[in-house]
Amino acid sequence: MNDARRYCPLPSPFAMKRGGDLRGAHVAYETWGELSGARDNAVLILTGLSPSAHATSSADDPAPGWWEAMIGPGKAIDTQRWFVICVNSLGSDKGSTCPASIDPATGEAYRLSFPELALEDVANAAHIAVTSLGIERLACLIGCSMGGMSALAYMLLHPGSVRTHISVDTAPQAQPFAIAIRSLQREAIRLDPHWNEGHYDNTRYPDTGMSIARKLGVITYRSAMEWNGRFARIRLDAEERDEGPFGREFEVESYLEGHAQRFVRNFDPNSYLYLSRASDWFDIAEYGHGSVLEGLKLIHIEQAMVIGVSTDILFPLEQQEQIAEGLRAAGAAVEFVALNSPQGHDAFLVDIDNYSRAIGGFLNRL
Amino acid sequence: MNDARRYCPLPSPFAMKRGGDLRGAHVAYETWGELSGARDNAVLILTGLSPSAHATSSADDPAPGWWEAMIGPGKAIDTQRWFVICVNSLGSDKGSTCPASIDPATGEAYRLSFPELALEDVANAAHIAVTSLGIERLACLIGCSMGGMSALAYMLLHPGSVRTHISVDTAPQAQPFAIAIRSLQREAIRLDPHWNEGHYDNTRYPDTGMSIARKLGVITYRSAMEWNGRFARIRLDAEERDEGPFGREFEVESYLEGHAQRFVRNFDPNSYLYLSRASDWFDIAEYGHGSVLEGLKLIHIEQAMVIGVSTDILFPLEQQEQIAEGLRAAGAAVEFVALNSPQGHDAFLVDIDNYSRAIGGFLNRL
């Protein structure tokens, strides 16, 4: 278990974008396939808020990864051809230094003394992991959801480090609807008395806040259209309903509860707050004198594929179009793929047929 | 203040759809304009979850009503021609008998001993208020949001009581996305320790749960498109930000907080839970052997206008189309109005130009 996980130390101190630094920090990553002699076949994947670096299974860790259907021998991201790397975001508790890590200066967990985290820091840490493997230039950088924003930061801050890019269901800046959702998720956690300004433990843990945050997340990651077909107004059997007034009655409520139960104790609440806020802060327009387009025009790569879904309410298709337009204006050959998958933002994890065809097709043509 | 409010006693006992009954119950209502000698100019308005019967101002209560711009002399719902009635929903704490009312059997507030509430009960109570005014047949029944569902129940349960109907941003049945949102709102209230299984008071009150519920409501009542133009990524001034980690920073967060502050202590939490769940339960297909269309075909009226908004994520346009189709199949002359207002579900309260034109036009042609 976790035999596949590797760790890359970060320079100490590691300076953070918004001030402060980390000492003795590291990021976790996994790799699949073999790096070619010319070191020109590396594909880096940057993840959404909650996934670990375990994107797919391997001999060292046979547990299914979060993008198992997409990555492997003969799959869309073919590990017989590509040397695939997935880095766990700095600030995530899935192996990288995060608010739950011990601060070497105090011997205690950072909690809220962790410095403010930006996706630019996530990108810089991932870039250090890639260069530590002797890779100067990625054949392709793939970013999904929050990882797509980290990927834009990566390409902007490290010119020449990326040849091609696949942008998946993401945004060049956080818009107010997404900010509102994430702000409310954070508030649900912060208002849980067990959060206790970040000083929870296993006996007093903000289960309630985390559960509400996760359910709200799941609601915005999927789509009404999918649920009409999947759940309609199906009721739970009597023995599946919970007791007490206003308890679960419809199947959709049970589905949300299942998602919450699996998440609540499996993600550090403070790390969640830091990564969530980093997403709100991201705005490529900061680099373009207030213009998203001008910010994107600072990114110089050869080719890109930008994929989005019409049913995504968190990262709407218009934002994918903006990314495609900006990268094209910067000189890249850009393919824009607008899908009608019913699954909403999560389509990249579910509609494997369409995403495989697009991503596999792009990579095969390189 | 509230000099305009009237009360209509309900028969005692008043039997509820799902079992149980109320004794000595009443609903609050207001009226504007004058009933004609032929009693054929009455327009009834059934409201969304939270508004009171005070839909517009009058000499007796000059405070602006919740649909002030729409109702009055010379306005779209013209009180010089129509005798306008707005009934506060049974179960709402704005004057009607609700879970916060005293149960005459015990001398204490009902709280969770209030019988299960269905929108059919809301419709039946409103119908009693209308007949108590000597009105056998409404010239027009207008239902907005949850009130649109109550209106469908009213027409179905009281054949011949309605001549024409205006359906505004509503649904013939609750779909899983809307159920998920409302279920999460209820959960936020129920998980607040101060809710205390319904036994809160002013010193221990579920402010946190109500605040989260209201913010989630506001997010789903508006639209991402509107907020991109209205809030974009505008930051609050330093003195407007709240202190402490992860506090409000963006204007959209302050907007949500303002909405929550105005709501939290102005709506009884138990009443909110009852009305919210009644919305989830509503399903006209129950009357149509499982078919929404067959349920709607049981409603026999002369004319209808069905209005919906493309940006409404809570009551999507497809559901308005279903209502139009069903009423048409039942023999009514139906006008379907699909608006592109950017304000989402709340457009009927904000986009007065378009709603006035549609509703005023329909009523003027009667």
Using a CB-CB cut-off of 8 Å, the residues of chain A touching B197 are: 244-245
pLDDT digits (tens, 9 = 90+) for B147-180: 999 999 999 999 999 999 999 999 999 999 999 9
What is the distance in angstroms between the Cα of A22 and the nearest Cα belonging to chain B?
Answer: 19
The DSSP bridge pattern shows strands B14-15 and B21-22 to be antiparallel
Question: Residue A173 is nearest to which of B233, B245, B253, comparing CB atoms?
Answer: B233
Q: Alpha-carbon distance A181 to B105, whole Å?
A: 44
User: Is the CB of residue A223 less than 8 Å from the CB of residue A344?
Assistant: yes
Q: What is the pLDDT along chain A (366 residues), one digit of tens a residue?
A: 568 999 999 999 999 999 999 999 999 999 999 999 999 999 999 999 999 999 999 999 999 999 999 999 999 999 999 999 999 999 999 999 999 999 999 999 999 999 999 999 999 999 999 999 999 999 999 999 999 999 999 999 999 999 999 999 999 999 999 999 999 999 999 999 999 999 999 999 999 999 999 999 999 999 999 999 999 999 999 888 887 789 999 999 999 999 999 999 999 999 999 999 999 999 999 999 999 999 999 999 999 999 999 999 999 999 999 999 999 999 999 999 999 999 999 999 999 999 999 999 999 999
User: Is the CB of residue A306 less than 8 Å from the CB of residue A167?
Assistant: yes
**Annotated binding residue at A21?**
no
**Annotated binding residue at A241?**
no
Task: Please report where in the chains the tokens 């907020």 appear, as a residue.
Answer: B227
Question: Residue A227 is nearest to which of B112, B177, B223, comparing CB atoms?
Answer: B177
Q: Is the peptide bond before B13 cis (omega within 30 degrees of 0)?
A: yes
Which of A52, A161, A312, A341 does the annotation list as catalytic? Answer: A312
pLDDT score of B2:
63
- Helix, strand, coil share of chain B (percent; to 5): 40, 20, 45
Question: Residue A176 is nearest to which of B176, B208, B231, comparing CB atoms?
Answer: B231
- Contact between B316 and A224 using a beta-carbon 8 Å cutoff: yes
- Contact between A176 and B227 using a beta-carbon 8 Å cutoff: yes
Q: Alpha-carbon distance B145 to B89, whole Å?
A: 13
Using a CB-CB cut-off of 8 Å, the residues of chain B touching A251 are: 176
- Contact between B175 and A227 using a beta-carbon 8 Å cutoff: yes
- Contact between A252 and B179 using a beta-carbon 8 Å cutoff: yes
| pLDDT band with cut points at 50, 70 and 90 for residue B240 | confident
Q: Alpha-carbon distance B189 to B213, whole Å?
A: 7
Mutate to test the interface with B, among A207, A246, A261 (most CBs of B within 10 A): A246
The DSSP bridge pattern shows strands B138-144 and B42-46 to be parallel
Catalytic residue numbers of B read 145, 312, 345
Q: Would you tell me how many other CB atoms lie within 10 Å of the CB of residue B169?
A: 32
pLDDT averaged over every residue in chain B: 97
User: Tokens representing B248?
Assistant: 């409000």
Using a CB-CB cut-off of 8 Å, the residues of chain B touching A183 are: 248, 250, 252-253, 256
Measured between CA atoms, the residue of chain B closest to residue A251 is B176
What is the distance in angstroms between the Cα of B6 and the nearest Cα belonging to chain A?
Answer: 32
Q: Which residues contact A35 (CB under 8 A, 6 or more apart)?
A: A41, A42, A83, A133, A134, A135
Measured between CA atoms, the residue of chain B closest to residue A185 is B212
- Contact between B187 and A215 using a beta-carbon 8 Å cutoff: yes
Q: Which residues contact B318 (CB under 8 A, 6 or more apart)?
A: none
pLDDT score of A4:
95
Q: Is the peptide bond before B115 cis (omega within 30 degrees of 0)?
A: no
pLDDT score of B184:
98
pLDDT at B242 over 90: no
Average pLDDT over residues B304-310: 97
Delineate the domains of chain B, giving CATH numbers in brackets.
6-174+284-365 (3.40.50.1820), 178-273 (1.10.1740.110)
Using a CB-CB cut-off of 8 Å, the residues of chain B touching A187 are: 211-212, 215
**Is 0.90 exceeded by the ipTM?**
yes
Question: Residue A176 is nearest to which of B190, B250, B280, comparing CB atoms?
Answer: B250
Using a CB-CB cut-off of 8 Å, the residues of chain B touching A228 are: 175-177
What is the distance in angstroms between the Cα of B221 and the nearest Cα belonging to chain A?
Answer: 12
- Contact between B180 and A227 using a beta-carbon 8 Å cutoff: yes
Which of A92, A96, A145, A271 does the annotation list as catalytic? Answer: A145
Q: How many CB pairs under 8 A join A and B?
A: 136
The reply to whether A345 belongs to the active site is: yes
Measured between CA atoms, the residue of chain B closest to residue A112 is B245
Measured between CA atoms, the residue of chain B closest to residue A229 is B176
- Contact between A228 and B176 using a beta-carbon 8 Å cutoff: yes
Using a CB-CB cut-off of 8 Å, the residues of chain A touching B285 are: 233
